[in-house]
Amino acid sequence: MSQGQLNNKHILITGGTGLIGKQVTDELLKQGYEVSHLSRKPGNNPKVKTWLWDVAKGEIDEHCLKGVDTVLHLAGEGITDKRWTEERKIEIIESRTKSIGLIYQLIENKPNQVNTVISASAIGYYSDRGDELLTEDSLPNNDFMARCCIDWENAVDEGRSLGLRILKFRTGVVLNKSGGALPQMAMPVKLGFGAPFGNGRQWIPWIHWQDAVDMYLYSIENINLSGVYNMVAPDPVTNKQLTKALAKQLHRLMWPIKAPAFIFKFLLGEMSTVVLGSTRVSAEKIQKDGYIFKYPDLAGALKEIYG
């Protein structure tokens, strides 16, 4: 490791059993880190100590910070798991804000050596912005996804008053054939019904799952990094370009028509913005701060995933 990096860290992960959480855990263990999880259920990984918490009830094991110097906050209810009722919106936000709040209460009131909190956020902060190129300095939108991310990031920033190094990653669409959005996007293509959604011109800020994992490790190791970063590849594509690249990789034909936007609006309601929104996001800041992408272009990313 270069100057500005630390060895022998102990990482506490919230959301460690999620798709990215599992992969980050595996990579950290492979590199010799000690890893603990905060979870609602006992873990089954003998290499990882699992501490229990119940965010809704405000309960957390007070011993979970033992030996920990870095907290990786990935916990949160799935954005698209259920329809966005008002009750569901509250669940989505509070699963992100109350959870980090419980940890900060513990940091403030119990002896510990935590010095860093690294948190997920989402490109929903910007939401539907057409062709505008969005950087970390761009203003947020004002729809539900944006409000969720604003509250999420503000809750994480409370750690600054405790003297902690704070990082937040506004994450794009993580491409992984084991879960997330990619299998859902690829299924109609595999079946021979691949077609762009809506007008097909909406920008999709994607990232290969390995780069997402590596970016978290990069931020853990490089103590000079702080603030907010976009977690997206430097090659944003439109929905039509993504569908076309999937069809090429999977050796399928694309339909010459587009899936009408009104279908998604009818089926998903307000949540249709996840599918139809256009968010063109820059990766320049993290590149300037030294991160080198393993999979900077979409064709290469899909080839590795499906190869």
Joined tokens for residue 189: 């293509």
Joined tokens for residue 215: 């970016």
> What is the per-residue pLDDT for 8?
60
3-state secondary structure of 304: helix
In 3D space, the residue among 107, 120, 102 whose CA is nearest the CA of residue 213 turns out to be 120
> What is the per-residue pLDDT for 191?
81
Task: Identify the band that residue 111 occupies on the pLDDT scale cut at 50, 70 and 90.
Answer: very high
Q: What is the pLDDT of residues 169-221, one digit of tens each?
A: 999 999 999 988 888 888 888 888 777 776 788 999 999 999 999 999 999 99
In 3D space, the residue among 166, 119, 167, 122 whose CA is nearest the CA of residue 141 turns out to be 122
Task: Identify the band that residue 1 occupies on the pLDDT scale cut at 50, 70 and 90.
Answer: very low
Question: To the nearest whole number, what is the mean pLDDT of the chain?
Answer: 89
Least confident of 47-51, 127-131, 135-139, 189-193: 189-193
> What is the per-residue pLDDT for 232?
97
Give the residue-averaged pLDDT of 237-247: 91
In 3D space, the residue among 229, 200, 97 whose CA is nearest the CA of residue 156 turns out to be 97
* % of the chain surpassing 90 pLDDT: 70
In the chain, what are the domain boundaries? 10-306
Q: Does the pLDDT at position 156 exceed 70?
A: yes
Helical residues (DSSP H) of the chain, grouped into ranges: 19-30, 86-109, 144-157, 182-190, 209-221, 239-249, 261-268, 273-276, 284-288, 298-306
Task: Identify the band that residue 255 occupies on the pLDDT scale cut at 50, 70 and 90.
Answer: confident
Question: Which CATH topology does 10-306 take?
Answer: Rossmann fold (3.40.50)
Give the residue-averaged pLDDT of 242-259: 83
In 3D space, the residue among 306, 103, 305, 117 whose CA is nearest the CA of residue 211 turns out to be 305
- The one-character DSSP state at 8 is S
pTM of this structure: 0.91
> What is the per-residue pLDDT for 194?
76
> What is the per-residue pLDDT for 72?
98
